[in-house]
Structure 1
Amino acid sequence: MSVSIRATDVRKSYGDVVAVDGVSFEVNDGEFFGILGPNGAGKTTTLEIVEGLREADSGSIELLGQSPWPRNKALLPRMGVQLQGTAFFERLTAREQLVTFGSLYGAGPKRADEMLEIVGLTDKAGTRVEKLSGGQAQRLSIACALVHDPEVVFLDEPTAALDPQARRNLWDLLRTINGQGRTVVLTTHYMDEAELLCDRVAIMDRGKILNIDAPASLVRGLDAPTRISVDSGELAAEKVAAIADGVAEVEDDGVALTFTTRDPATVLTALAEQRVLNGLRVRGATLEDVFLELTGREYRA
């Protein structure tokens, strides 16, 4: 399989602060690749180095077979970039923004109209940017990154600060973009987003990549118990351990009685025999569990 991006032992520091500490990874053509990490993990700096916006202190980057630094003008038409904070031109409508961005790459007004339809903003073509909602502005930002039909698209936390409905609408758009054959690289700290969208993810913290794999493979590799819940009051907490072997922690918050086990089949059978099934929920490990296992649970501002 051809490789769109190859990063090898990339390092970047700002004084005593090490932002990127020996990062290496590859992204295949047509892959949806995620870089996950808490705030300050080095995700954005890594992405900016790959895009050619920053110079690495050491290491090497290949983007579509070329070095992005020094600023490589041959690569600019081949990649689309959506930054964390996109600044639009003041007083322009959504269509005028796209026409302006497209003109920088030789794309005409027809392409701008096509992109408005793709991102679901045709009815907002004549609306000035400051009148768009947060979700609409994010979709316009992605449209600006795609108006010149790039091969690789970089998205830096595109759903940050969006409401749940806007996030899910944007997810549909991102699937469409990737389904058209484009390579997509996404940074995010939303685990559900990465688990749903990405073919593979790199979990990053303190400037280092801790693990890279498909989300499902990372979850399967985590030795985590299953959490089983029933409605509170269905069973006394002190009797949970008596119904089946292998029950570990028990918690009753007044709404649900939740316990962990490494033998869910036996426990579920015992609950069925006791007819304790109201509000039954079974939760295995998720990408969030993998993330917390690798990066820790302490709060970092």
Structure 2
Amino acid sequence: MSKRKLISFDWAMKKLLRSKANFEILEGFLSELLNDNIRILEILESEGNKEDYRDKFNRVDLKVKNQKNEIIIIEVQYDREFDYLQRILYGTSKVLTEHLDEGDPYSKVVKVISINILYFDLGHGEDYIYQGVTSFHGFHHQDVLELSKDQQVLYKKNKIHQIFPEYYLVKVNNFNDIAKDTLDEWIYFLKNEEIKENFKAKGLIKAKQELDILKLPEQERLAYEKYQDDLHYQASMIESSYTIGMLKEKREISVNLLKADVLDVQTIAAMTGLTLEEVEALQREISSTS
């Protein structure tokens, strides 16, 4: 018997996880990832709350406040973005300024945690979960700067990195489908939209109950199926555009090298990844027009 598929996490974020009745699901994921017992106080307004024609082609995001009054941004991104790291930096900076009232001291700056669930390959790395924090290292003594006792009291933090924004990158497609711990169980669900019988991570039992596709009203199920089709179509368009662009670039490089007459066709083919026949065809085109 095939496993029953569940609603994808991004659709759940758009439609179901904003309800207080389903906070347990989101709290479970955050608790496992952050290794903390997270409790959500409220869902805050974010771009992901707004419905528009671009929804199915772009990110889905959710902004919540936890019991520590920290702001957590959870974002799901399918499209390849080469400047994605700068964009999440901008996103956390925007939240910092939005939640600091005019006249407040800087000690009131809110802690922001940016969680990014990525279905495209960002950067170069073999792992599937990356954490980014801020620390200050001494030039001469190679020590790490720490908070003074008074600062710990003022900021209610023990470490400097706890003040600054914190980033998590979950590269879903890098996961090998072998769940070694409860966090991996969540990553398995994010990748496969399936929860195995032996999984016991926080929030997954509730997710299995509430995110069953067959429990959706027919109209919402049809909307979800269309949303999934749109994602597949968009992924195909992006892949096609990327492939065409790469082929065009390889051809341009080959033409320039052939015109320069500094390398033989075999070397050019090896360098650019074109076949020998393709390079020879380009060479004939150049000869016919010269």
TM-score between both structures, scaled by the size of structure 1: 0.25
Higher helix share: 2
Normalised TM-score (structure 2): 0.26
